[in-house]
């Protein structure tokens, strides 16, 4: 009787270990996806900052007042 109980407990423990492993693998995959998304966000943020700097440089060529818009000549 004891051998059967030990065998049943061993099978149960084995099944639970498998479930834990699946959970750990799922967490690892999710972490990798989050890291990739973070890297992509950083790259997009950098690109957006560069575009904003370029736009700011282009807009600096214009002088805007309440009644007049003029274009500055010369290097940007």
| Token pair in block for residue 33 | 């996806």
Distance CA 14, CA 21 (A): 11
pLDDT band per the 50, 70, 90 thresholds, residue 22: very high
Name the residue ranges covered by the structural domains of the chain. Answer: 2-71
- Per-residue pLDDT of 31-45, as tens digits, reads 999 999 999 999 999
| Token pair in block for residue 14 | 């084995």
Length of the chain: 76
Quote the pTM value.
0.58
Q: In the prediction, which pLDDT does 71 show?
A: 73
Q: In the prediction, which pLDDT does 76 show?
A: 53
Distance CA 11, CA 5 (A): 10
């Amino acid at each position: 009787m004891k051998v059967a109980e030990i065998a049943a407990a061993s099978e149960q423990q084995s099944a639970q270990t498998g479930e834990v492993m699946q959970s750990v693998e799922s967490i690892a995959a999710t972490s990798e996806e989050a890291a990739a998304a973070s890297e992509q966000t950083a790259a997009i943020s950098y690109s957006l900052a560069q575009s904003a700097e370029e736009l700011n440089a282009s807009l600096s060529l214009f002088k805007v007042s309440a009644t007049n818009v003029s274009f500055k000549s010369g290097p940007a």
